[in-house]
Amino acid sequence: MNYLDINHIVCTIMGYPLSYIELLGTLSGLISVYYASRGNVLTWPTGIVNEIALAILFYQVQLYADMFLQVFFFVVTIFGWYHWKSNKADVPITRLRHKKWYLLSLGAGTLLLGTCIKNLPQWLPVYFPHPAAYPYIDSFVTVASILATILLAKKQLENWIFWIVVDVISVGLYQVKGINFLSIEYVIFLGLASWGLWQWHKKLRYA
């Protein structure tokens, strides 16, 4: 059987059929976010596993923007890993300047990407035979995640604020799409992001 198929079930938890690919994506994501909240470089290699698993999963549930997001994550993961490892001294935590440009980018990016994702089945019907699910909400999550990842790679405090917003929306989105285990993971991510914001704020305050 194809272990990458969402219908290949590893076990059933309280009546919910959990697939191998969702389990792999969930566990690797938890590990990666845990390391990120501690400012540990291991967040990047564990993130690569998470990105590959979720790209496969999201394609199967028609969350195409989230699928493309994993490709971006992979590129930024390589950058972040190199950026952290290439500095002999610990990369300092800093605050974000020019916040309004990030907010404008979030709005414009969501509108542009959402329109493209919505039209994918018309433009590329062979590769995307099914209509995109919630293209604009999915795109908002994608664009906000891109901005958060850039800020994380640069070790800027506000990355956690973006992640908190992403996590809140993702909990509902994945619940509606029936990937409940992943939805529960994002509840945990929300707690980890809140804890990460608190930890990084303390480090910055006492730096």
Question: Does position 74 have pLDDT exceeding 70, yes or no?
Answer: yes
% the chain with pLDDT above 90: 65
Mean model confidence pLDDT for the chain: 90
Better-scored residue on pLDDT, 206 or 70: 70
Question: Does position 174 have pLDDT exceeding 90, yes or no?
Answer: yes
pLDDT reported for residue 165: 97
pLDDT reported for residue 169: 97
pLDDT-derived band at 180 (thresholds 50, 70, 90) equals very high
pTM above 0.75, yes or no: yes
Q: What is the 3-state secondary structure (H, E, C) of the chain?
A: CCCCCCCCEEEEECCEEEEHHHHHHHHHHHHHHHHHHCCCCCHHHHHHHHHHHHHHHHHHCCCHHHHHHHHHHHHHHHHHHHHHHCCCCCCCCECCCCHHHHHHHHHHHHHHHHHHHHHHHHHCCCCCCCCCCCHHHHHHHHHHHHHHHHHHHCCECCHHHHHHHHHHHHHHHHHHCCCHHHHHHHHHHHHHHHHHHHHHHHHHHCC
State the average pLDDT over residues 41-51.
92
pLDDT tens-digit series, residues 133-170: 999 999 999 999 999 988 987 889 999 999 999 999 99
State the average pLDDT over residues 24-40.
87
pLDDT-derived band at 179 (thresholds 50, 70, 90) equals very high
pLDDT reported for residue 140: 98
State the average pLDDT over residues 40-54.
92
State the average pLDDT over residues 104-110.
97
Question: Does position 96 have pLDDT exceeding 70, yes or no?
Answer: yes
State the average pLDDT over residues 182-187.
93
pLDDT reported for residue 153: 77
pLDDT-derived band at 14 (thresholds 50, 70, 90) equals confident
